[in-house]
Structure 1
Amino acid sequence: MKITEWLRERFPIDYEKFIEINEKIFIKEPIPNHMKKWFYCAGATPLILFLLQVVTGALLTFYFVPSPEMAYESVRHITQDVRLGFWVRGLHRWGANLMIIALLLHMTRVFFTRAYRRPRELNWMVGVLLFLTTLTFSFTGYSLTYNQLSYWATTVGTNMIGSVPLIGHTALMFLRGGEEVTANTLTRFFTIHIWFLPPIMLILITIHIIILRLHGVSEPEGFEKGYYSFYPHHFYKIVIITLFLLSFMSTLTIILPPGLGEPANPAITPQHIKPEWYFFPVYRFLKLVPLNVGIMTVAMFLLGMLFWPFIDPLLGKSEETRRRLAFAVGGLTLLVTVALTVWETVVL
């Protein structure tokens, strides 16, 4: 008996129907013509990077030990002793950075094409939650290296969280496992990073894709109307993007390999403490205003970003007025974000 016949006898399903459904959902999925432009394919890039993060992160957990005594040494062991360890760690590090950049580009494109409008409001909100979850991933992951910069960046970051009105102290105690950054903090960050956040991310991605499939991709103005099949054109485009990302991250890992820094020392405060670049705008802004005012302003901004699809219709009666005001808000946000990032980058 052939293996295919053996399997069909054990799994008596209608294979022709299965193939037909598979072709309808994947192979012949209609893709709008504007998706032939590479810029409009940015939505798949964060998903590809997330899958690469899952693979490289799983490999790193085989060697990483989440304890103050062994965390730094295990990272050193991965980087210097384990075969291809520096490469896997480099892919994970640069993948995290590129995922944030890809999400920012995708959200910028969605905002300026106003693809968040009815009936896609919920998908924009899920996208914002995905972005915030990615930032949380990066914050908790960066802290696990347990060198001087990551230790004190964790201290400063959790202090800022502790300044949030009403829930700040509770959140700080939950994250740190006490008043200070200790072994409990490292264990909790590791648990959040590999157990709490991945399921949340997967649920949000699933919801995002389901809503996308139900409503279809929003088609911007100025493009020829029409569709083409997912396979082979779009499929090969995703394959090319995946290979490019792997090559680009590998190149970055070789040219700019992941460093180690000095082991964490709670008794010595570094002269200059800075978070990772994606937190520069918030970090610089909080230096310019009183802390409580800054925290409240950032919270209001995030709420505004989350509920923007419902704010947009209130900007004016005419579509042209709403479009111009939305562009003004988006442009000003980009300008301020870039300015604060550059400012924090060049200032010691």
Structure 2
Amino acid sequence: MNAKIRMWFEDRIPFNREKTAETTKELLNEPIPKHMKNWFYALGVTPLILFCFMVVTGIMLTFYYIPSPEKAFDSVRYITEEVSMGFWIRGIHRWASNLMVIAIFLHVIRVFFTRGYRKPRELNWILGILMLGATFTLCFTGYSLVNNQLSYWASTVGTNMIKEIPLIGPSVLALLRGGENVTANTLTRFYNLHILIMPALLFVLIGLHMLLVRLHGVAKLEDDDKEETYPFFPEHFYHGLVIMFLLLTLISALTVILPPGLGEPADPTVTPAHIKPEWYFFAVYSLLKFIPLQAGIILIMALVIAATFWPFIDEWIRKKKPNLKTHYVVGSLTIIIFLFFTVYEILVH
């Protein structure tokens, strides 16, 4: 009987067992450079794990969240205070998003300083920068959905900055807000961006990123072409599992120690004394206090474009001066400036 059922399915779903087994074996035995045993070099899997945490908890939050100005804040309060384990689910979602930003930052820094973006991996670097931008957008829209006083005015100030983008700024602002001001249309659009568009985009970007890693293999260290390797399974696979359990433990602890707050309901008629974005925007927010807004936006756009196409810029510089370690200087200065403006913003207010 079982054989007949199996044959019935095999007739309708062509399935080559030998080829599948061969492919699976090839994937499990994929050679991983020995330096990937170092935890710092294994950061690539961390954003993926955190993103999965965000997706699972985000789906749970949609069961109760109501994306309307009148009910959004109360629905978040209901999740936090009345839903069983609601504060934990919301805390996991929030802390996973913060740690995902940190993980991508660290991964980008690691790839930058080891020149893991060098030929033929330039496209993977570009995908990484796009993932960072999509993560920022995901976090910004999610923060705005709480619809408390700080998130409402932070989204107002944040979207006002978009207006200063040359040529397309006003059109993009109108598209995001659904009008001239932050209204119910804005909340609905941010909700759709947060639960549909950005997650779908991240799934595509992560999929392409992993595909290119699979095709090119994990980048070896620049000065060690003969580095030893080890198979993906079981050691590297277990490495990922350990990271997953450590992250879940850390996020759970952070949720208990520093649970997500509520604040005051959004009031468009009362501007808070201090409007602050989330910490990962502190550097940009602080920088724009020192220079004219439009000039600052243009500068930031230029830096983002330069970062996106850095592999090609670096290659051009190395052709001119092969011994010049430009990436060390550029990377170190970028980190110092980012930390300076971030710490400055924390200390000022």
Which residue pairs with 1:142 in the alignment?
Answer: 143
Map 1:163-174 to 2 at 5 A. Answer: 163-174=164-175
Counterpart mapping for 1:122-271 below 5 A: 122-221=123-222, 225-271=227-273
- Using structure 1 for the length normalisation, give the TM-score: 0.96
Secondary structure (helix, strand or coil) at the match of 2:230 reads strand
Match of 2:322 among 314, 319, 324: 319
Structure 1 residue ranges (4+ consecutive) displaced by more than 6 angstroms after TM superposition:
none
- Looking at structure 1, the residues matched to 69 and 182 of structure 2 have their Cα atoms a distance apart, in angstroms, of 11
**Structure 2 CA distance, aligned partners of 1:283 and 1:7?**
61
Listed as ranges, the matches of 1:23-62 within 5 Å are: 23-25=25-27, 27-62=28-63
Cα distance, 1:320 vs structure 2: 1.8
Return the alpha-carbon distance in structure 2 between the equivalents of residues 188 and 14 of structure 1. 45
Per-residue deviation, residues 241-298 of structure 1 (Å, max 9, x unmatched): 0001110000000000000000000010000000000000100000010111101000
Find the aligned partners of 2:302 and 2:98 in 1 and give their Cα distance: 25
Question: In structure 2, what is the Cα distance between the partners aligned to 1:7 and 1:198?
Answer: 37
After TM superposition, the structure 1 stretch with the greater mean CA deviation from structure 2, 71-80 or 305-314, is 305-314
In the aligned structure 2, how far is the partner of 1:89 from the partner of 1:22?
Answer: 37
**1:108: which partner in 2?**
109
- Aligned mates of 1:222, 1:297 — CA distance in 2: 34
Which segment drifts farther, 94-103 or 200-209? 200-209
Match of 1:72 in 2: 73
In structure 1, stretches of 5+ residues that fail to align are: none
Distance across 1 between alignment mates of 2:150 and 2:207: 35
| Deviation digits for residues 197-240 of structure 1 (CA, Å, limit 9, x no counterpart) | 11111111111111111111111146661211111101111000
TM-score by length of 2: 0.96
Q: Count how many residue pairs are aligned between Structure 1 and Structure 2.
A: 344
Structure 2 letter corresponding to 1:281: A
**Within 1, Cα distance between the matches of 2:148 and 2:29?**
50
Gap change, CA 1:222 and 1:314, over 3 Å in 2? closer
Q: Deviations over 1:32-68 (max 9, x none)?
A: 1111111110000001111111111111001000000
The residue type equivalent to 1:284 in the other structure is: S
Q: State how 1:293-332 maps to structure 2 within 5 Å.
A: 293-316=295-318, 317-321=320-324, 324-332=325-333
After superposition, the C-alpha distances for 1:75-127 in whole angstroms (9 at most, x for unaligned) are 00000000011000000000000000000000000000011111111110010
Say if 2:33 and 2:228, in contact at 8 Å, map to a contact too: yes
* Mean Cα deviation higher: 338-347 or 219-228: 219-228
Whether the 8 Å contact between 2:112 and 2:331 is mirrored in structure 1 is yes
* Structure 1 residue matching 2:323: 3-state secondary structure: helix
Question: For 2:10 and 2:54, how far apart are their aligned partners in 1?
Answer: 34
Q: Report percent identity of matched pairs.
A: 53
Distance 1:8 1:171 in 2: 56
| 2:278 match | 276
Is the 2:115–2:222 contact (alpha carbons within 8 Å) kept by the matching residues of 1? no
